[in-house]
Amino acid sequence: MKVTVSRKAEFDAAHFLPNYPGKCANLHGHRWVVEVGVKGEVNPVTGFVVDFTFLKKSLSFCIEDFDHSLINNRIDNPTAEHLIRYILTNFRVPEDTELEFIKIWETPDSCAEYKRE
């Protein structure tokens, strides 16, 4: 049986969107929320697809340098979509699983999502 397992992490960071003709071109901050999901077979011995601790460490590795920082120093034009690309490139997918999705919320009601095709 295949199951999707996910983990969320949060960080506070500032950014500005240099290519945007509105208020978001100005420096501002967010409480970012990132969620990753991986899918795989449930191990009959452990009962896990993956240990949540592995997902926590892998996700923390991707976002730890963003916390209390200016994201523009690491990513040009740091939209939520470009943050997804960054995490997609840097997230370590656990053995015997597939990355199923990445979601990034800039605000509690606005997010971007990548889904495996």
CATH of the domain at 108: 3.30.479.10
Cα distances (angstroms) measured from residue 49 to each of 25, 62, 65, 72, 88: 42, 21, 28, 35, 20
Predicted TM-score (pTM) of the model is 0.93
What's residue 85's pLDDT? 96
Instruction: Locate 33 and state its tokens.
Output: 């929320």
pLDDT for 74 equals 96
pLDDT, averaged in runs of 10, over the chain (117 residues): 96 97 97 98 95 95 96 97 96 94 97 95
Number of domains in the chain: 1
Q: Which domain holds residue 52?
A: 2-115
Distance CA 13, CA 28 (A): 9
Nearest in space to 33 (alpha carbons), one of 91, 113, 99: 113
- Calpha distance 73→82 (Å, rounded): 13
